[in-house]
Amino acid sequence: MMKVRIKVKGIVQGVGFRPFVYRIAKKNNLKGFVKNMGNYVEIVVEGKKEDIENFIKDLKNKKPPLSRIDKLDIEEINDNLSFDDFYIIKSEDSREEEEGTIPADVAICDDCLKEMFDKNDRRYRYPFTACTTCGPRFTIVEKLPYDRENTSMRDFPLCEKCLEEYKNPLDRRFHAQATCCPVCGPKVFLSDGKEVIAEKDEAIKEAVKLLEEGKILAIKGIGGTHLACKVSENEPVLNLRKRLGRPTQPFAVMSKRDYVDLFAEVDEDERNMLLSLRRPIVVLKKSENYDKYFSKYVSNLDTIGVMLPYSGLHYLLFDKEIAYVMTSANLPGLPMVKDNDEILKKLDGIADYFLLHNRRIVNRCDDSVVKKVANRLVFLRRSRGFAPEPIKVDVENDKNILCVGAELNSTACIVKKNKFYLTQYIGNTSKYETFCYLRDAINNILRLTNTNKIDAVVCDLHPQFNSTKLAEELADKFGAEIFRVQHHFAHAYSLLGDNNYFDDAVVLSLDGVGYGLDGNIWGGEVLLFKDGKIERVGHLEEQYQLGGDLATKYPLRMLLSILYKAIGEEAFDFIKKYNFFSEKELALLKFQLEKKLNCPITTSTGRVLDAVSALLGICFEKTYDGEPSIRLEPEANKFKGNMEIEPKIKNNILDTTELIYKSYEMLLNDESKEKIAYFAHIYIADGLFEIAKKMADRTGINAVGITGGVSYNRIITERVMNNAKREGFDFIYHNRVPNGDGGICFGQGIAYILKNRAEPYG
């Protein structure tokens, strides 16, 4: 006989891990206990040596599908304690400085769905049905250990029948913290904004009728609230756009699995992601039949963001409709609303009706979004279904590092050893409410990872960002070092860490805006990663951003600035044809350009693409992040011919004045918009790759990568990929971390760790 203590670290909370341990202990004739220590699970087993060895094999090889074992600490113990059986005993809150992991929310499982639609089951049509393998986790937990009393489910004491299931080791709801039923669980209700007009199942049935009538509903879900309407008619979609102030931003939709093929093209990878328990929004190419089912106002791109139902409530909404618009319930730049009073107040005048419930959402969590680019699915947004599960990187680190991320599309990150815990998606932290959300999310991730000590706080180089100011406050609070990383360097470090690639490489870091080492606005950078440090070795031509931030909102300003550089006074005569600026405005713009007043210098790839978008009359005003460039890509996708060009490069600088001038000439010569749009894309891709190739050849490097928000553009990224492969380079691209600013915090962490190898510039 022998006795061992096992510490299990990883994703072992909220995944049915303790019931699993109980079952395999009983199977192997062992006595002892298992308990949750908050940041790990402790097991003590007593029995024959061979039985314990078989138990450990089962522990490793038969663990629950949602769990992940990162480390097993096994020690033999000798004491006088003996056990008469195996038990799950009361959790403790360990004070050891070890990271814990709460799993992400997952979609309702098939077993629970079967019960929901079984008229003879006591959970028939009950929208909060869940078990150990499905349902909310992160969005309901307040602190570790992950027990019911530490979640918002503590507000709903279990009834006799649910308690019996909860205590039965053979039941799949054994210690399922989110379990409940119509007797003891949360309740759904429908409000017109003034009073409750229906409750329970009648509320859901009435909501379905209202949606079919063309009404707009606010629907409270697992991690926040959606605004929903039918997709087949123009009026409800246009009403939603008007009320939200989102005139053109594509809406995501929710559809049942059997309907997606009616309106979208889906490959195997995309289908598997749609069907996964994580249930993100997947950006799909529209099919030829799309217009038969959808209003043209749902999406003005050649793609549509689609997700499948992931909660019981979602499934109950589908009757006659093949899809609903299902967009986050927030005004531009602000966090999604989640509390009932807040929903009713802030969505007054936006939603016609409110389908709500009385379970508290502890942690707001937007839908994740993925898109297939360069033969892999990449994150546009990593949030529900993934956060806060850690990303492991092959680095050595003995510090607790807090990274506050970027200013826009923000996430934050805590790094412990080689694990990077990214928060859920936060948003635009230049807005006060979103900044407060960032602060709360940081406090929450510190609490859930049992982090009491911070050694370093990492932020952007920009001195005026709210996130930078927060970093300074937190560094002072924890007595920690503060470390600043240039924005595009952070993108590059993010790419390298995402791929566990720390050999020398040339990285294209392309986006709309980032504070450069020279104080200018960067965004089209060729970076050399060599001997552990990053250096800027090339970039797009410097242009004047006419009117500063106004040029990001009104892309004709960027076009005028570059055209003026190319053709002088004629640029103003040309711009008049768009009937966008008054004579008085044009006179002022001319004065600004001549005197270089409020004309900051930029190398932004986004601004150049914006200028082409304006040139072609595609977008004159940005209403959401990246809109002019995003709407330019579908136009370029229409071009089916081949094109070989010779980008103009001098001293490792790609001439973008030439790009705009050539596009302008093509337009005057009646070339098609699609051809001009395609030309602009491959001019940038080929030109920057040529600079990267030259640098790689000079330094003996055999890897080229691309990162930043522009790397979501399929044409540019896949052109760079094909060029790299043709020339014999390894191609590096994202996989686990967002390409855009949602991955900046991850890159900041990598930058801090690598500074011990060689101090990076900036």
What does 681-710 look like in DSSP terms, one character per residue?
Answer: HHHHHHHHHHHHHHHHHHHT--EEEEESGG
* Per-residue pLDDT at 113 exceeds 80: yes
Mean per-residue pLDDT, 386-410: 94
Distance between CA atoms of residues 128 and 317, nearest Å: 14
Cα distance from N-terminal residue to C-terminal residue, the chain: 60
pLDDT given for residue 320 in this prediction: 83
| Band (483; pLDDT cuts 50, 70, 90) | very high
Mean per-residue pLDDT, 696-725: 97
pLDDT given for residue 759 in this prediction: 47
pLDDT given for residue 756 in this prediction: 65
pLDDT given for residue 272 in this prediction: 97
pLDDT given for residue 761 in this prediction: 40
Distance between CA atoms of residues 159 and 124, nearest Å: 17
What are the structural domains, with CATH classification, of the chain?
A: 2-88 (3.30.70.100), 188-358 (3.90.870.40), 385-485+740-747 (3.30.420.360), 540-732 (3.30.420.40)
**Phi, psi (5° rounding) for residue 217?**
-115, 140
Ranking 16-30, 33-47, 88-102, 612-626 by mean pLDDT, the lowest is 88-102
* Per-residue pLDDT at 17 exceeds 90: no
pLDDT given for residue 639 in this prediction: 97
| Band (78; pLDDT cuts 50, 70, 90) | confident
Distance between CA atoms of residues 589 and 547, nearest Å: 8
Mean per-residue pLDDT, 485-499: 98
- Distant-in-sequence, close-in-space partners of 693: CB < 8 Å, separation ≥ 6: 704, 723, 727, 729
* Per-residue pLDDT at 392 exceeds 70: yes
Distance between CA atoms of residues 762 and 751, nearest Å: 10
pLDDT given for residue 95 in this prediction: 56
**Phi, psi (5° rounding) for residue 572?**
-70, -40
* Per-residue pLDDT at 12 exceeds 50: yes
Mean per-residue pLDDT, 655-663: 98
Percent of the chain with pLDDT over 90: 85
pLDDT given for residue 319 in this prediction: 83
- Distant-in-sequence, close-in-space partners of 609: CB < 8 Å, separation ≥ 6: 628, 629, 632, 680, 681, 684, 710
* Per-residue pLDDT at 96 exceeds 70: no
Under DSSP, the state recorded for 384 is B
- Distant-in-sequence, close-in-space partners of 203: CB < 8 Å, separation ≥ 6: 188, 189, 190, 355
Mean per-residue pLDDT, 30-59: 90
pTM of the model: 0.93
Mean per-residue pLDDT, 175-200: 97
Distance between CA atoms of residues 477 and 55, nearest Å: 45
Ranking 21-35, 572-586, 591-605, 719-733 by mean pLDDT, the lowest is 21-35
Known catalytic residues are 18, 36
Ranking 100-114, 271-285, 530-544 by mean pLDDT, the lowest is 100-114
pLDDT given for residue 70 in this prediction: 85
Half-sphere exposure of 682 (CA within 13 A, CB side): 17
- Distant-in-sequence, close-in-space partners of 594: CB < 8 Å, separation ≥ 6: none
pLDDT given for residue 91 in this prediction: 77
Tens of pLDDT, residue by residue over 239-254, are 999 999 999 999 999 9
Tens of pLDDT, residue by residue over 245-278, are 999 999 999 999 999 999 999 999 999 999 999 9
- Pick from 158, 206, 214, 146: which is nearest to 183 by CA? 158
* Per-residue pLDDT at 757 exceeds 70: no
Mean per-residue pLDDT, 482-508: 97
pLDDT given for residue 88 in this prediction: 87
Tens of pLDDT, residue by residue over 423-443, are 999 999 989 999 999 999 999
